[in-house]
Amino acid sequence: MKDLLGGKGANLAEMTSIGLPVPPGIIITTDACNQFYVENRQFPPGMEEQVREKIKTLEEKTGKRFGDPDNPLLVSVRSGAPISMPGMMDTVLNLGLNDETVKGLARAAGDDRFAMDCYRRFLNMFGDVVLGIEHDKFEHILERQKDLTNVQFDNQLTAEQWQVVVEEYKKLIERETGSPFPQEPMEQLFKSIYAVFNSWNNERAIVYRKVNKIPDSLGTAVNVQVMVFGNLGDDCGTGVAFTRNPSTGVNELYGEYLINAQGEDVVAGIRTPQPIATLKDTMPGVYKQFAETCTLLEKHYRNMQDIEFTIERGKLWMLQTRNGKRTAQAAIKIAVDMVNEGLINKEEAIMRVEPAHLDHLLHRRIDPNAKLQVIAKGLPASPGAASGQVVFDADEAEKLGLDGQKVVLVRTETTPDDIHGIVQAQGILTSRGGMTSHAAVVARGMGKPCVCGCEAIRIDYAKEEFVVGGVTVKKGDIVSIDGATGQVMLGEVPMIDPELSDEFQQLLTWADEIRSLGVRANADTPADAAKARGFGAEGIGLVRTEHMFMAQDRLPIVQQMILASDVEQMNNALVQLLPMQEEDFYGILKAMESLPVTIRLLDPPLHEFLPNAEDLMVEITTLRLTGGSADEIRQKEELLKKVRALSEFNPMLGHRGCRLGITFPAVYAMQARAIFQAVARLVREGYKVIPEVEIPLVIDVNELSFLRQVVEKTATDVMKETGVQFEYTVGTMIEVPRAALLADEVAGAADFFSFGTNDLTQTALGFSRDDAEGKFLQHYVEKKILKDNPFMVLDRSGVGKLMQTAVQLGRSVKPDLLIGICGEHGGEPSSIEFCHITGLNYVSCSPFRVPIARLAAAQAAV
Ligand code: ADP
Ligand code: MG
Ligand code: MG
């Protein structure tokens, strides 16, 4: 019942019902929260009476009474949304304390220091969360007291010293709010419930929901729960643990605890906590019970759990459990291990891994053989490597990040208020806090590299620098961090290509069994083709021949071809290009032996291969001023003339794609010849190759028929010349709406279709991508005019409809028509799902995204 009770409440109820030790409590539902917002931030009618009624039940259960000066009942007021948003909303502990009940608490526990410790925590949290007084102001008072009494840690203060802090806190509250701290427990309770409801719409919660695409309409539940105390002495403590390692996935208890501490001390990095394994020695009985409970919870939820617990005088209490956030690496290992342990099936394992999170596993990491200038080592909190400028402030990290710069955010510790900066940073480095600190949890959730608790670095925010050993690193200096080892390095470091772990391979093998959609790669070189094949590509969906034209040694010949003033000159250039292209195709087709390779003929406007006009003018002027030779100047002027003649108002809609083939059939004929000569050679050498010749930017079947003839004639010629028979197909890209709408006609001349959804999105929406992304698209997304950037996530309703139309019309003529997609959408999970639904045969994406596509295609099929 997570939607109604919130994740925290639902799981607390569930743990209670399976017999685990959970302090009793009551849950105010998300319905109440939503009603609260409908009624202009007022409690829904009847809610207050019900709460009072239920508090009585808690009093009966515990034998304590709310506000009782002798034996007071204390509660926590905890937020809990249906989807976990760690640390985003607020919690108040030790509620029910006041100047009278604190004495009762002290007497009941036989411990004055403990009671005062609870009271000061309550005043601080209540002041911060409910009354909106900055936490720093409380912290300041506490720091001063610690200085005065010359102690280092909070838990070293005595009851009397806490008493001083408490009095100051109360004064602070009165000063800041204009009225005294509310002593009445019921008033405290309702004010806290109000604050938790309100915290659903605090800034950081809103940002978090936006980043994680959580609907604003869910609302939060409120849990009012009887307090248990981890701060009652050395047989007490509090901790957080994962049932498996959330960073690597290894099946071991993983977490931290603090002796004699309460709640958030562990996460906040007040003292550095101890690893959970040491609990085995300090409290063997509790450890055993805890380990058994973890196993039980994993079996129950069939998932790795993230658990909060407290030990009160040797007794274990469970305070929270939820499915733990984990890195992609851990997600894969845990999913595969759980299948092997019989906890889940393969389909579930497939669904447990978020394809988008695989991204950084498929990205480069630090070269293990590189010589590194390691300046410090912290905790390896979230794997992956990052390099960037040092920035000490989240706002600045956000600004530079949005500006396209790479930054590493360096903080003593992060708080939920830094979330916008973390989003934009390449990586996070903190000097305090453990593996479960805020920075670590958030970074793992986002798949961002993080090194935390790097205590060797001394950060000076005022000077905007940190010092480590003898080294001073200033704002703007480049550092690298390795979240897998915890190392911090000066400068950029060399990186290498990733390898897939055994578990990753296993998961992908299962994905291949489940999916029906094929996965190909876009690749332009034999090396990329081989890489794609290694990642499991079942062919190439797009070879862009123009990339081959751009190579340094070829560009002059390509330019000669473009600048040719007669047929002879052009042929001369083409003759030179032919063997070069043939070698390219030979290499790629060979690397993809026995798999299909779609080769697209020349696509971009010709002026892309020429220098730009302004540069040329500067060169000419310079030559003139420095007395360059007349010949050279004349040549450059000729070139400039040609560049001007070729320049277009709107190149995207200009002389490109098959329009070049129509105007200059010799160019396409040369490319076709290069393909077929390579094919003939390979066939003769005994290779099985499957070439697919693709004509871009078609709007009408007549274009395709015309160019098909050019290609077919070339094939026939090559077969005659070489005496080798070979197979090939000729097809087209569908990337203009007209082609999609006339797909039945186009299919008459096509053996296959491939959706070029980058262009199809541009032409369907009338957005030029380069202009849209910089200028207005983000406003469309922010103002919710479009749900997503259509260049990243396929626009199902518009572009998708054109695709569906084309599929339907094309297959009405040729039921077995091979149809794929080669736009960047081919590697994006939601778009892949759409391709599956629409009945495409395959998606094609960049080599590094092939594993993502294999997984996403399987998820679409589950
Ligand atoms: P968050 O969602 O930020 O983790 P929680 O509501 O879980 O906030 O509470 C914050 C901390 O207080 C946690 O460490 C939790 O275990 C502790 N806590 C909450 N309620 C109680 C309680 N009734 N007794 C003891 N500790 C509690
Ligand atoms: Mg919690
Ligand atoms: Mg295109």
Which ligand 1 atom sits nearest the alpha carbon of residue 267?
A: 14
Asked if residue 231 belongs to a known ligand binding site, the reply is: no
The low-confidence residues of the chain, meaning pLDDT below 70, are 269-270, 363-364, 445, 447
Asked if residue 756 belongs to a known ligand binding site, the reply is: yes
Query: Strand 91-95's sheet: what is its strand order?
Result: 25-28, 221-226, 75-80, 91-95
Neighbours of ion ligand 2 (CB under 5 A): 320
Q: Given ligand 1 and candidates 11, 16, 61, 93, which is best to mutate, with the most ligand atoms within 8 Å of its CB?
A: 93
Asked if residue 757 belongs to a known ligand binding site, the reply is: yes
253 close to 311: Cβ distance less than 8 angstroms? no
φ, ψ (nearest 5 deg) of residue 323 = -60, 125
Which value, in Å, is the radius of gyration of the alpha carbons in the chain? 33
CA distance readout (Å), 836 to 324, 517, 816, 859: 30, 6, 16, 10
CATH number of 515-605+648-861: 3.20.20.60
Of all protein residues, the one whose alpha carbon is nearest to atom 26 of ligand 1 is 263
CA distance readout (Å), 312 to 173, 228, 231, 730, 807: 30, 6, 8, 75, 65
Q: What is the 3-state secondary structure (H, E, C) of 571-594?
A: HHHHHHHHHHHHHHHHHHHHHCCC
* Total-model pTM: 0.80
Q: Is 655 a catalytic residue?
A: no
Q: Which ligand lies nearest to the CA atom of residue 121 in the structure?
A: 1
Residue 585 CB contacts under 8 Å (≥ 6 apart), including other chains: 543, 599, 674, 675, 678, 679, 691
Pocket-forming residues, ligand 1, beta carbon under 6 Å:
23, 76, 78, 87, 91, 93, 225-228, 263-264, 308, 310, 319-320
Output the CA torsion 348→349→354→358 (10° steps).
Answer: -160
The structure tokens listed for 125 are 């949290």
- CATH T-level fold of 371-492: Glucose Oxidase; domain 1 (3.50.30)
What pLDDT sits at residue 86? Answer: 74
φ, ψ (nearest 5 deg) of residue 217 = -85, 0
Q: Is 438 a catalytic residue?
A: yes
Percentage of the residues of the chain whose pLDDT score is greater than 70: 99
CATH number of 228-324: 3.30.470.20
Q: Which ligand lies nearest to the CA atom of residue 81 in the structure?
A: 1
What pLDDT sits at residue 854? Answer: 97
What pLDDT sits at residue 732? Answer: 98
CA 785–ligand 3 middle distance (angstroms): 26
CB atoms within 10 A of CB 70: 13
Convert 643-673 to b/e letters by CB count within 10 Å (16 or more is b). beebeeeebebbebbbbbbeebbbbbbbbbb
Measure CA of the first residue to CA of the last residue in the chain; give whole Å: 24
The single-letter DSSP state of residue 489 is E
d(CA 778, CA 782): 6
What pLDDT sits at residue 275? Answer: 93
Of all protein residues, the one whose alpha carbon is nearest to atom 9 of ligand 1 is 91
- Residue 819 β-bridge partners: 753
d(CA 694, CA 519): 18
CA 694–ligand 3 middle distance (angstroms): 11
The residue extents of the domains of the chain are 228-324, 371-492, 515-605+648-861, 614-645
514, 347, 379, 354: which is closest to 453 by C-alpha?
379
pLDDT in tens, 200-214: 998 889 988 988 888
Asked if residue 759 belongs to a known ligand binding site, the reply is: yes
CA distance readout (Å), 81 to 84, 171, 648: 6, 34, 55
The structure tokens listed for 250 are 């290894």
474 close to 451: Cβ distance less than 8 angstroms? no
314, 322, 332: which is closest to 241 by C-alpha?
322
Which ligand 1 atom sits nearest the alpha carbon of residue 89?
A: 3
Of all protein residues, the one whose alpha carbon is nearest to atom 20 of ligand 1 is 76
CA 86–ligand 2 middle distance (angstroms): 7
CA 523–ligand 1 middle distance (angstroms): 51
- Which among 822, 825, 835, 836 is annotated as catalytic? 822
CB atoms within 10 A of CB 438: 25
What pLDDT sits at residue 269? Answer: 64
Which ligand 1 atom sits nearest the alpha carbon of residue 78?
A: 6
CB atoms within 10 A of CB 337: 18
Q: Which ligand lies nearest to the CA atom of residue 822 in the structure?
A: 3
What pLDDT sits at residue 285? Answer: 95
Q: How many CA atoms lie within 13 A of 705 on its CB side?
A: 7
pLDDT in tens, 600-640: 999 998 888 888 888 889 999 999 999 889 998 998 898 89
- Which among 438, 607, 825, 836 is annotated as catalytic? 438
Residue 755 CB contacts under 8 Å (≥ 6 apart), including other chains: 733, 734, 735, 803, 806, 819, 820, 821, 822, 823, 840
